[in-house]
A = this chain, B = another copy of it.
Amino acid sequence: MQTTALEKQLHFLREIDRLKTVVRQSPLLDKSRKENSAEHSWHLAMYALLLNQYASGTVDTNRVIQMLLLHDIVEIDVGDFPIHGGLSSELQAEQEWKAADRLFGLLPSPQGKELLALWQEFERAETEDAKFAKALDRFQPLLINVFTGGGTWTENGVSLEQVFSRYGPVIKRGAPLLWSVCERWVVQHFARQASEKSPGTS
Binding site for B on A (CB under 8 A): 2, 6, 9-10, 12-14, 16-21, 28-30, 32, 35-36, 38-39, 41-43, 45-47, 49-51, 54, 62, 65-66, 69-70, 107, 111, 115, 143, 147, 177-178, 181
Contacts and interface: CB of A to CB of B under 8 A. Distances in A.
Given A13-B50, A54-B6, A28 B21 contact: yes
Q: Which 8 A-B pairs have the closest CB atoms?
A: A42-B42, A62-B62, A38-B39, A17-B29, A39-B39, A20-B39, A38-B42, A9-B50
Q: How many copies does the complex hold?
A: 2
B49 A69 contact: yes
Contacts of A13: 43, 46-47, 50-51, 143
A184 B2 CA distance: 16
Contacts of A111: 50
Given A10-B143, A46-B13, A107-B50, A32 B41 contact: no
A14 B147 contact: yes
B28 A17 contact: yes
A132 to B, nearest CB: 15
Given A13-B143, A20-B35, 8 more contacts: A12-B50, A13-B51, A16-B46, A21-B30, A41-B42, A45-B45, A49-B70, A62-B62
A42 B21 contact: no
A103 B16 CA distance: 29
B35 A28 contact: no
Nearest to A45: B69
